[in-house]
A and B are shown apart, each in its own frame.
Chain A
Amino acid sequence: MPTITIFKQDLEGLLAGPGEARQPMTLEQIEDSLMLVKGELKGQNPDTGELRIELQDSNRPDLWCCEGIARQIRVKRQGSLPKYGFLSTKPPSPKQLNVTPGLEKVRPFVAACTATGYRVTKDGLAQLIQTQEKLAEMFGRKRRTVSIGLYRLAAIEFPVTYDLVKSGEAAFTPLGMDTVMTLGEMLLVHPKGLEFGGILAGHDRLPFLRDAKGRALSFPPIINSREVGEVKVGDDALFVEVTGTDLSMVILTLNIFAANLADRGAVVEPIEVRYPYKTDLGETVMTPQDLGRSRTLPVQTIERALGQVLGVHEVAKALVAYGYEVATESEQLTVTLPLYRQDLMHAMDVVEDVAISRGYADFLPVMPSQFTVGGLSRIEEFSDRVRALMVGMGFQEIISNILGSPQDLRDAMRLEGTEWGQLVEVDNVMSLNFSALRQWMLPSLLRVEAASNRAFYPHRIFEAGEVARPDPAQALGSRTVMVLGGMIAHADAHFSEIHSCLDTLFYYVGQAYSLEPVQHPSFLAGRAGSILCEGKRVGVIGELHPEVLERWQISVPAVAFEIDLTQLAERP
């Protein structure tokens, strides 16, 4: 979820509107208002007015900027969203942007507009750049689906062409460099080319944005031209374009920029995009464009979900005060999202907006009244019983990570190449220490023993918990098993000592068992046994092999057992 930086005075200015006197807000007021945008104040600098805000909703990219936050609060204060003029007034002879054939296979969609009459301020420029980055990074999936370019309008002659060229055919000086390079060279040497070049991998012709005179604007989605594509404080005429692979996301992104600039006082003028191929919106597409599909739903749907009767009027009022357009007809509401949102997938999305607009505190909590019976799973109940018995026998319980290293789980136990040494391993390893699920419990107990030679003896420790064992017969390739491991360590630790504990445990669990000698590399030969229940192996017991103790750097003898609780719990 994005965390953004905004400035308090900028927020207050946007709340008042262009040319209006701003009303200072307290931090408490700001924090309260942030409920409307699912925002949380993470930090602030009282000297600069800097506020760091985390926005939770990954489906509301319009809120990832100061303008969007201010707008949501302002709409609530004013009770409705004023219409954006650029949506209704179509210019008589709009500026044009022509798309070259072949782009449908590379990066098919583009949207653009101009914004004039707003002189870019320092705070405003910081927001423009931050919004451009956050939207391309998180909403545009690292520029793959959406990327954005901002330009100085004065340097551009229309119509602009969204072109497709060979990598050596176009060249310009990119931002951050001071020499002319071809597109191919930018992919090879420019930091942004290296970072985002993968998006264009496999294409021998590349997207290229140029004006009527052939002047380079940018190489989408990689880098802008340094001459045209660097907006500075004081500029008052801008050109904004968005390219990408999803038409509605491209248009939504442009809508957000258009609304943001309009909120700062700019006059936004739409641009006509002409495609040589069909799109969902036809071959000629005006952008920005309100894509808001309306949705009709009965007020009862909302009331039932909220658990509160509000009436059509109250619901409509709440939605309008949250930026929606609403038409009502008896018990039906027809709702349309504002141009900067596209997150209405389901009626429940409307329900939440009603609740947020009215405030969650407006809803009185009610206890669910229906009766249910609580209980534990059989294995949990069984494990709890076994844990209580272990505690009764004087064992200290421990808890360990389930993720461990093959070194600890297998190698230090002398289990390389054995059936006991098979592990469920992680593919994308971050640290070898956490690269495999434990397949048995004793390494977890040895981990504690190895770290505790200063704790007074004897040590009697146990853990009941889950392990994962590879099993090709399972759809998941492994089984999750609940096991119990118990260990005793002190200078005179002896097989019979741990055997007594095992014996006692089985007595109280009410199961008969027998021991059968086993050659297990983790234990001393002749002092280890398989634990059998009616002929089935349910565990192992023995004196740990001195080499195992050495590898764990443990300097006292240790005896241990491990039993499969899942198997035991399933027995009648």
Chain B
Amino acid sequence: MDISSLIDSLHPLEVKVLSTFVSNPSAVLQTEQLAQASGLEPSQLSMAVEWLLAKSLLAVDTEVVTPMVSLTKVGEQYVEKHSPIERVLAAAREAATTGKRLTIQDIQSREGLEPAEVSGAIGRLKKEGALLIIQGGCLESTGRTSPTAEAIRGLLLRVHEMPREMQTFSDAQRQVIQDHAVKRGNAKEPFRIDDRVARSLKLSADGTEAAQQLSKQGVLEEVSQLTPELLKDGSWRTKRFRKYTISLRAPRIAPGKKHPYREFLDTVKAKLVSMGFQEMRGPLVETEFWNMDALFMPQFHPARDIHDVYFVKDPKQTTSIAEPFLSRVAQAHQDGGATGSTGWNYPFDVARARRLVLRSQGTAVSAHTLAAQPAVPGKYFSIARCFRYDQVDATHATDFFQVEGIVLGEDINFRTLLGLLNLFAREVAQAKEVKFLPAYFPFTEPSVEMHVRHPKLGWMELGGAGLFRSEVTLPLGVTVPVIAWGLGLDRMAMVALGIHDIRELFTDNLDLIRSTKGAL
């Protein structure tokens, strides 16, 4: 690992320790000096020093081991309550003055001492001639002093002030301390003897380089967040920015976003505009006249049944239908009028034509456009909401979008109709293979159904089209041939959006809408 990546990987504690050497890279510092200079807690310092030693950035210069004496918890208690040996001796002297007999059991119960403590103390006092055991197990003070008891008192007080180096004590004192220091198997002693390791540390060669680089970068303090203040005074230059674990999962957000189905339709819309189509619009509520009569669907046509179309409750009829269209269309139905047709041969019912329905086919919008002096040549499209009286299920929606339109022009004929459909197949479905089948629509002749080989879906029906019958165009005042076309895009949209139920196109599930990716 080179030095700069080594530096990048340093923990802030390590950086602090290294930084204390920056002013004098060749310094040899004692642990205490390091603690002071770095301002680290002893535990933090010792962690950082161990890490740096492991990375060979620091090296030990010298190491001095000093035995130190300190008090244990027991020792601290003895400072106040006195040690067992002192208490046994005091009890024996008190008994001597009062003349009371004092047994070992008395001492144990009175002083609350353990039998082992009592017997240890008695043993030593007896040895030093300060105590006698007389008949009946009674203790008797001899009146002589006990060197041990006296020494312990002094040592307790002295070590209580602060831990002392062993070598500051006399030989005799050292003996007492040794005798009363915690050892393995004997934890109830007042003194503890520890080795204090005093290390002096210096930088290794790598450490020197790292310290110099740290110093050069001036990156001394770590911060977690870049703040306006840091930018304002430029102090970001002397900071180190904490590194993040960037592999963690990002928190979720909900972006503003188009509905995926609308996005799909927007793309279709843009394609149609790019192919030279002008958008047309129409009302949701239509007359039967524009929805069907103008399209030469006879008034007895099964698709006009109460089971196929929604009728409006109030008002039930329009107040007027524009002339001359009403008369001309009525005539075309009855005997063909001036259209060159025989017509349907039935009495046209104007009251029926005036009935209001919810638009059931986008072609109604085209019929309006034909009657409104469209441009020739002209191309028009609409993406119109339509309504069908249908049981709602996975493949039938009660209201849905129809993409359809017309193309007018002197050059329009069956072959240009096929050419237009080819263009749709390529542009809208990205399909290269196309199949044209004979079809039937009440308002076109000839009529075509277009099947395409979709790159993902295989063969599918993409749409229907045809040349508007003269019985449609002439009564509305159009004398050039007109292509009427419609595209069935819902299946393509559903596959693109990964759904299998047409109702999900209009789902109320916000989670689903948010998480659905776009169609393209």
Q: Interface residues, chain A, CB within 8 Å of chain B?
A: 1, 35-36, 38, 56-59, 138, 141, 304-308, 344-349, 351-352, 355-356, 360-361, 363-377, 379-380, 384, 387, 390-403, 424-428, 430-431, 434, 437, 447-452, 454-456, 458-461, 466, 468, 472, 475-480
Contact = CB atoms under 8 A, between A and B. Distances in A.
Given A363-B415, A399-B261, A428 B306 contact: yes
A361 B418 CA distance: 10
A455 B415 contact: no
A364 B415 contact: yes
A360 B435 CA distance: 9
A366 B262 contact: no
Contacts of B266: 384
B312 interface: yes
A363 B302 contact: no
B261 A347 contact: no
A369 B356 CA distance: 39
A460 B513 CA distance: 12
Interface stretch (B31-39, B99-107, B121-129, B436-444): B436-444
B171 interface: no
Contacts of A349: 445
A517 B387 CA distance: 37
Contacts of B423: 367
A363 B414 contact: yes
A401 B311 contact: no
Given A376-B269, A455-B514, 9 more contacts: A345-B471, A346-B341, A366-B415, A374-B275, A394-B255, A396-B510, A402-B399, A403-B358, A430-B389
Contacts of B282: 480
A384 to B, nearest CB: 8
B161 interface: no
A38 B379 CA distance: 28
Given A38-B440, A306-B414, A348-B445, A477 B356 contact: yes
10 contacts: A138-B302, A346-B339, A346-B341, A360-B436, A372-B375, A372-B379, A374-B272, A396-B514, A426-B358, A430-B391
A371 B280 contact: no
A353 B378 CA distance: 28
B413 A307 contact: yes
Contact of B398 (A393, A397, A434): A434
B384 to A, nearest CB: 9
A36 to B, nearest CB: 8
Contacts of B410: 370
A403 B399 CA distance: 7
Listed residue (B279, B339, B437, B438) with the most chain A CB atoms within 10 angstroms of its CB: B438
Interface in B332-361: 336, 339-344, 356, 358
A351 B340 CA distance: 14
Given A396-B513, A448-B508, A370 B411 contact: yes
B254 interface: yes
A360 B418 contact: yes
B284 A437 contact: yes
Nearest to B261: A399
Contacts of B418: 360, 363-366
Nearest to B407: A368
Nearest to A425: B313
Nearest to A457: B254
Contact of A450 (B255, B409, B505, B508): B508
B506 A476 contact: no
Contacts of B310: 403, 426-428
Contact of A451 (B256, B300, B336, B508): B508
A358 to B, nearest CB: 11
A370 B377 contact: yes
A476 B300 CA distance: 23
A380 B380 CA distance: 14
Nearest to A464: B262
Nearest to B387: A403
B287 interface: yes
B414 A456 contact: no
B508 A345 contact: no
Interface stretch (B47-55, B137-145, B214-222, B314-322): B314-322
Nearest to A304: B413
Interface string B247-262: 0000010111111011
Contacts of A355: 414, 438, 446
Contacts of B319: 475
Contacts of B442: 58
A418 to B, nearest CB: 17
A348 B416 CA distance: 16
Contacts of A36: 438
B508 A375 contact: no
Interface string B56-100: 000000000000000000000000000000000000000000000
B245 interface: no
B318 A361 contact: no
A124 to B, nearest CB: 28
A347 B311 contact: no
Interface in B485-520: 505-506, 508-511, 513-514
B302 A56 contact: no
A397 B262 contact: yes
Contacts of A395: 256
B315 A396 contact: no
A403 B398 contact: yes
Given A402-B385, A448-B510, A373 B411 contact: no
Interface string B358-394: 1000000000000000010111000001010111100
A377 to B, nearest CB: 5
A364 B416 CA distance: 9
Nearest to B275: A374
Interface in B430-486: 436-440, 442, 445-448, 467, 469-471, 481, 483
B7 interface: no
Contact of A345 (B313, B318, B341): B341
A455 B515 CA distance: 10
Nearest to A354: B446
Shortest 5 CB-CB contacts between residues of A and residues of B:
A307-B413, A452-B510, A307-B415, A352-B446, A365-B418
A431 B312 contact: no
A476 B287 contact: yes
B283 A346 contact: no
B312 A480 contact: no
A233 to B, nearest CB: 32
A477 B283 CA distance: 11
Given A377-B279, A396-B256, A348 B505 contact: no
Contacts of A427: 310-313, 316
Contacts of B336: 345-346
A431 B392 CA distance: 10
Given A306-B414, A307-B413, A307-B415, A368 B420 contact: yes
B154 interface: no
B436 A426 contact: no
Contacts of A451: 508-510
A466 B438 contact: no
B276 A478 contact: no
Interface string B271-290: 01111111111111111000
B414 A425 contact: no
B497 to A, nearest CB: 12
Nearest to A482: B281
B439 A38 contact: yes
Contacts of B481: 305
Contacts of A304: 413
B259 A398 contact: yes
Nearest to B276: A372
B36 to A, nearest CB: 51
B419 interface: yes
B412 interface: yes
B331 interface: no
B377 A372 contact: yes
A368 B416 contact: yes
B403 interface: no
Contact of A56 (B314, B342, B439, B508): B439
